[in-house]
Amino acid sequence: MNKRIVVISILILLFTFNLDKPVSFAKQGTITEDNVHVRSGPGTEFQIITQIHDGTAFTFIKRQAEWVEIQLEDSNVGWVHAKYLSINDQVDTPSTITIPHENTQIRSSPTTDAPIANFAKKGSSFQVISSKGDWYEIQNKAIHGFVYKALTEPISLPMKESSFANKSIVIDVGHGGRDVGAIGASGVFEKDVAYLTAQELTNELSMLGANVRLTRRNDEYIPLNSRISYSNNFDTDVFISLHYNSVPNLPNVTGIESFYYKEANKKLAASIQKKVFDAVQADDRGTSFGDFLVLRQNLKPAILLELGFISNKAEEARLLTTMYQKKLVSGIIQGLGSYFARSEIGKTEY
């Protein structure tokens, strides 16, 4: 997909969401800290209009990603970061919601550390059973679980505020063409599984506003040096090499592991390792130093992921399912997200 198509798709999506009947959210709330900045727009780049204090009441207007537009008693209108306010949602919890985004994650308990229980389709309807903090407990005939409230808001596509916006990410799709990579228990090629993951990861990252470059878009042989030049010759924020493992003589071995070459990239590898583990609950083989050419000669933050053992028959089968691939990718995204968020700490003032 080229960039123009991505942008147009997102515009169409935004337009579509606005046609959906919006969920009715809380009307009243209070500020929970002192000296909270009220800004003219949903982001720290907007001007500070005024400051408000702990206990100040407001009327909720709308929410956009991490920011909430509020109206104060003096009829001032402005935006406040969501972490500085509480919204009385007992009165305004909707009785039903319609999921506005494709493949919305449904968790087994109200925290992002909980395993993903399912993915809800765009347009599917749920009964809201309860409201717990930032989460709704929802249920329909097929699915029961918890959804992050911001994900149920029609206008919450966090383009501008997303920590992924304008990030350049190179996805190195392991092997290809005559180099099939490892061969699975029932004959699956590593190159094909890596391609599945790359497709899913590209879609998700593009939706979040990242610029994604793939080292191969087809089943073709790309030399390692060319793969590195995709990273080194551009303004790359992160290079992720996707691989699957195989030890045919030890078919019981399973699990995920991540590698870095430069010490500076250890945190990035560990962050993704942790979140992928949280998402799929596979065996955790940890984060290690790895002397791989694509890492060693990479001038940008670079890691290599081994996301499973195709020599294990059950793992090979699981890796070929869309559900499992989506879980893997949601783990990678969350790991990247917390890495980006951490690298912005210090220069962010809410």
Stretch that binds Zn ion, among 25-33, 131-139, 179-187, 204-212 (CB under 5 A): 179-187
Q: Residue 70 corresponds to which tokens in the numbers above?
A: 């509020």
Stretch that binds Zn ion, among 49-57, 59-67, 97-105, 242-250 (CB under 5 A): 242-250
* CA triple 326-280-251, angle to 5 deg: 110
Provide the minimum distance between the beta carbon of 6 and Zn ion in the complex, in angstroms, as a whole number.
28
Q: Is 181 in the site for Zn ion (CB under 5 A)?
A: yes
Residue 164, CA atoms < 13 Å, CB-side half-sphere = 25
- Of residues 210 and 294, the one with the C-beta less far from Zn ion: 294
Q: Exposure string (b/e) for 293-308, b if CB count within 10 Å is 16 or more?
A: ebbebbebbbbbbbbb
3-state secondary structure of 85: strand
- Of residues 79 and 239, the one with the C-beta less far from Zn ion: 239
Residue 317 phi/psi, 5-degree rounding, is -65, -40
Provide the minimum distance between the beta carbon of 332 and Zn ion in the complex, in angstroms, as a whole number.
16
- Of residues 149 and 243, the one with the C-beta less far from Zn ion: 243
Amino acid code (one letter) for 135? W
Residue 29, CA atoms < 13 Å, CB-side half-sphere = 25
- H helix intervals, 281-321: 293-296, 313-319
Provide the minimum distance between the beta carbon of 152 and Zn ion in the complex, in angstroms, as a whole number.
39
Separation between Cα atoms, residue 237 and residue 256, nearest integer Å: 23
Between the CA atoms of 76, 82, 87 and 89, what dihedral angle is there, to the nearest 10 degrees? 130
The residue whose Cβ lies closest to Zn ion is 243
Report the chain's C-alpha Rg in angstroms: 22
- Of residues 43 and 286, the one with the C-beta less far from Zn ion: 286
Strands (E), the chain: 28-31, 36-39, 48-52, 57-64, 67-72, 77-81, 85-87, 96-98, 104-107, 116-120, 125-132, 135-139, 144-148, 168-173, 211-214, 238-245, 256-260, 284-289, 302-309
- Of residues 101 and 243, the one with the C-beta less far from Zn ion: 243
- Of residues 180 and 270, the one with the C-beta less far from Zn ion: 180
- Of residues 68 and 194, the one with the C-beta less far from Zn ion: 194
Stretch that binds Zn ion, among 2-10, 45-53, 114-122, 170-178 (CB under 5 A): 170-178
Provide the minimum distance between the beta carbon of 221 and Zn ion in the complex, in angstroms, as a whole number.
13
- Of residues 110 and 176, the one with the C-beta less far from Zn ion: 176
- Of residues 200 and 306, the one with the C-beta less far from Zn ion: 306
Q: Is 176 in the site for Zn ion (CB under 5 A)?
A: no
Stretch that binds Zn ion, among 56-64, 134-142, 166-174, 218-226 (CB under 5 A): 166-174
* CA triple 94-161-167, angle to 5 deg: 135
What is the H or E stretch that residue 228 is in? helix 224-232
Q: Is 243 in the site for Zn ion (CB under 5 A)?
A: yes
Provide the minimum distance between the beta carbon of 243 and Zn ion in the complex, in angstroms, as a whole number.
4
Stretch that binds Zn ion, among 237-245, 273-281, 294-302, 329-337 (CB under 5 A): 237-245
Provide the minimum distance between the beta carbon of 272 and Zn ion in the complex, in angstroms, as a whole number.
17
Q: Is 337 in the site for Zn ion (CB under 5 A)?
A: no
Work out the end-to-end distance of the chain between its first and last CA atoms, rounded to an integer number of angstroms.
Answer: 35
Q: Which of 174, 176, 255, 331 binds Zn ion (CB under 5 A)?
A: 174
Chain centroid to CA 279: how far? 11
Size of the site for Zn ion (CB under 5 A): 3
Are 247 and 285 in contact by the 8 Å Cβ rule? The answer is no
Provide the minimum distance between the beta carbon of 253 and Zn ion in the complex, in angstroms, as a whole number.
15
Provide the minimum distance between the beta carbon of 175 and Zn ion in the complex, in angstroms, as a whole number.
6
Provide the minimum distance between the beta carbon of 83 and Zn ion in the complex, in angstroms, as a whole number.
41
Question: Contact positions toward Zn ion, by CB under 5 A?
Answer: 174, 181, 243
